[in-house]
Amino acid sequence: MHELPQQLANGLILGAMYGLIAIGYTMVYGIVQLINFAHGEIFMVGGFGALTVFLALPSGFSLLAAIPLMIIGGVIVSVLVATAAERFAYRPLRNAPRLAPLITAIGLSLALQQAVWKWYPDAKKDRSFPQFNGDPFHVLGANIQRGDLFILIAAPVCMIALGFYVTKTRTGRGMQATAQDPDTAKLMGINTDRIIVMAFAIGAAFAAIAAVGYGLHNGQVGFRMGFIMGLKAFTAAVLGGIGNIYGAMLGGIVLGLAEALAVGYVGNIPSMELFGGGAWKDVWAFVLLIVVLLVRPQGLLGERVADRA
């Protein structure tokens, strides 16, 4: 009853979300060697930002027309929270031992969850997110819900735009230079503080776009949604090779597909019946991470760090 095309489509949708969120982990890590564990919550507040915009629109406003406004709302909220976190929580700790910003990130993550829980109206339980009505599209034997088209279009568009930005613009090249050697980047005249803010902002914007996709896919957003999505996206970033933006997207897709296939097929393997189905999907995701780290510690597209002088 589980057909392969459907499982692949589900995996791709999930993977595109993981990949978009993973960009934020990988860019920040690539430049300041910080795992921003609050990034899952940056994603979460983006979802609430988008929802808030939708709720503020007059009733009868078409969802399709609302989507761009919701993206803008979500991106603004996520970027503001992320850049404020950078400025006031992480920057003062830039020369502190590595554990300090890591613990700060975890604290920030809890604070953001609790803030939404406490102050966002009715956020103590999941809030419903607008949905596209209408029949799913049939593509190559898979049913794709209308809302899921959003993430399937947004993810490649964001990746292409980011690839262009990083390689073709001056700030993008400054970003690469800062990632490779921050002190020398300063000697080139690069304002590395600004580059770091840009990395946080781009990651936050992508997370907010992923959150709109998440809301459309699941029909709801909640204050806890950033935890498991953040953890999975972090896994995707490590899987793909942390520090590499294409690796983050690849890691996301691989992880999404692996989860979907595990859910669909592991239960069919003789003597593995117990481990099939949705309840085990997180386990399989992390098993995949462990296997990849054992075989290829630098991740799928990661480079060995030995050339860092």
Partner 1 sequence: MTALLEVEDLRVAYGKIEAVKGISFSVEAGQVVTLIGTNGAGKTTTLRTLSGLLEPLAGTITFDGKPLKNVPAHKIVALGMAHSPEGRHIFPRMTIEDNLRLGAYLRDDKTGIEKDIQRAYDLFPILGERRKQAAGTLSGGEQQMLAMGRALMSQPKLLMLDEPSMGLSPIMMQKIMATITELKAQGTTILLVEQNAQAALSLADQGHVMEIGKIVLSGTGQDLLHDESVRKAYLGED
Residues in contact with partner 1 by CB under 8 A are 170, 173-174, 176-177, 180-181, 183-192, 303, 307-309
Q: Which is nearer to partner 1, 126 or 193 (CB)?
A: 193
Q: Which is nearer to partner 1, 109 or 178 (CB)?
A: 178
Q: Which is nearer to partner 1, 140 or 305 (CB)?
A: 305
CB of 120 to partner 1, least distance (A): 39
The amino acid sitting at 86 is E
CB of 161 to partner 1, least distance (A): 20
- Quote the tokens at residue 59: 């009733």
CB 70 within 8 Å of CB 53: yes
Q: Concatenated DSSP letters for 100-127?
A: HHHHHHHHHHHHHHHHHHHHSTTTTSPE
218: three-class secondary structure by DSSP: helix
Residue 230: C-alpha distances to residues 104, 233, 235, 281 (Å): 16, 5, 8, 15
Q: Which helix (H) or strand (E) holds 220?
A: strand 220-221
Q: Which helix (H) or strand (E) holds 245?
A: helix 245-265
144: three-class secondary structure by DSSP: strand
CB of 185 to partner 1, least distance (A): 8
Q: Which is nearer to partner 1, 94 or 186 (CB)?
A: 186
- Quote the tokens at residue 279: 């309840």
Q: Which is nearer to partner 1, 6 or 180 (CB)?
A: 180
CB of 171 to partner 1, least distance (A): 10
CA pair distance 121, 170, nearest whole angstrom: 43
Q: Which is nearer to partner 1, 6 or 176 (CB)?
A: 176
Q: Tokens 């007059």 appear where?
A: 58
The amino acid sitting at 34 is L
CB 240 within 8 Å of CB 250: yes
CB of 198 to partner 1, least distance (A): 14
Q: Which helix (H) or strand (E) holds 235?
A: helix 225-240
CB of 184 to partner 1, least distance (A): 4
CB of 30 to partner 1, least distance (A): 11
Task: Give residues with Cβ within 8 angstroms of 57, minimum separation 6.
Answer: 66, 69
Q: Which is nearer to partner 1, 135 or 307 (CB)?
A: 307
- Quote the tokens at residue 79: 């970027």
Q: Which is nearer to partner 1, 113 or 178 (CB)?
A: 178
CB of 308 to partner 1, least distance (A): 8
Closest by CA to 152, choosing from 74, 300, 253, is 253
